Chains A and B, each alone.
Chain A
Amino acid sequence: AQTVTQSQPEMSVQEAETVTLSCTYDTSESNYYLFWYKQPPSRQMILVIRQEAYKQQNATENRFSVNFQKAAKSFSLKISDSQLGDTAMYFCAFMKGGATNKLIFGTGTLLAVQP
């Protein structure tokens, strides 16, 4: 069975600074996808970024980038130039390949961006 671990329950960062959220996972699958989702106070789940396991290049989306270390089974999220609107719960998630679309979520990291 796959597991996703987020070891940082809470983090805080100053506005405009950079912060990195950690995530590790465990799987025996070779074809899979990794995601970071954001859940703001509204509780609407928002996709932040996606990484396909077969791609060596780290995914980037504007201020968000990942450090994907496949051998170490690590998938961290870096947020640059943090903004107050980035305050949210962030979930790392794993999906096995094969069009099952089933997501396994980590326990989440609550990020607070301080003015």
Chain B
Amino acid sequence: GAVVSQHPSWVICKSGTSVKIECRSLDFQATTMFWYRQFPKQSLMLMATSNEGSKATYEQGVEKDKFLINHASLTLSTLTVTSAHPEDSSFYICSVGQGRYEQYFGPGTRLTVT
């Protein structure tokens, strides 16, 4: 299966600043990547589907201007949280879709906004 990495694993930023999270598919060319958000002791909530070379598809209720997604290559998707606030503090997980139903997850990024 695909090996997926995320960078950074943990980031602390000040309120009002922007932070970028990278998701890389190390051994597979991914046309589709997914971004999830997970609050403590809660489930994963799909935020958006990242499509290589085109605009991301956001789930209902997710602010596209707040969470900017760029999938510029077959191995890299980035999530930028713009003008971050404490309520954006969460665990962000990306995954790579492969075949009919396979999905491989990155290790996640913990974002803390102070």
CA gap between A104 and B34 in the complex, in Å: 12
Chain B facing A: main interface SS: strand
**Stretch binding the partner chain, chosen from B12-20, B66-74, B81-89, B98-106:** B98-106
Report whether B34 and A43 are in contact in the complex, using a CB–CB cutoff of 8 Å: no
CA gap between A45 and B97 in the complex, in Å: 14
Contacts of B38 in A (CB 8 A): 43
Report whether B105 and A50 are in contact in the complex, using a CB–CB cutoff of 8 Å: no
Encode A22-60 as 1/0 by CB contact (under 8 A) with B. 000000000001000000001111000010100000000
Contacts of A106 in B (CB 8 A): 43
CA gap between A99 and B97 in the complex, in Å: 9
Interface residue count on the A side (C-beta < 8 Å): 20
Contacts of B42 in A (CB 8 A): 107-108
Contacts of B23 in A (CB 8 A): none
Report whether A42 and B107 are in contact in the complex, using a CB–CB cutoff of 8 Å: yes
Report whether B107 and A101 are in contact in the complex, using a CB–CB cutoff of 8 Å: no
The chain B residue sitting closest to A44, CB to CB, is B107
Report whether B34 and A101 are in contact in the complex, using a CB–CB cutoff of 8 Å: yes
Interface residues of A in 91-115 (CB under 8 A from B): 91, 95, 97, 99, 101-108, 110
Contacts of B34 in A (CB 8 A): 101-103
CA gap between A97 and B98 in the complex, in Å: 13
Q: A43-B91, A45-B93 are in contact. Are A102 and B105 (CB under 8 A)?
A: no
Report whether B43 and A91 are in contact in the complex, using a CB–CB cutoff of 8 Å: yes
Chain A residues at the B interface, C-beta cutoff of 8 Å: 33, 42-45, 50, 52, 91, 95, 97, 99, 101-108, 110
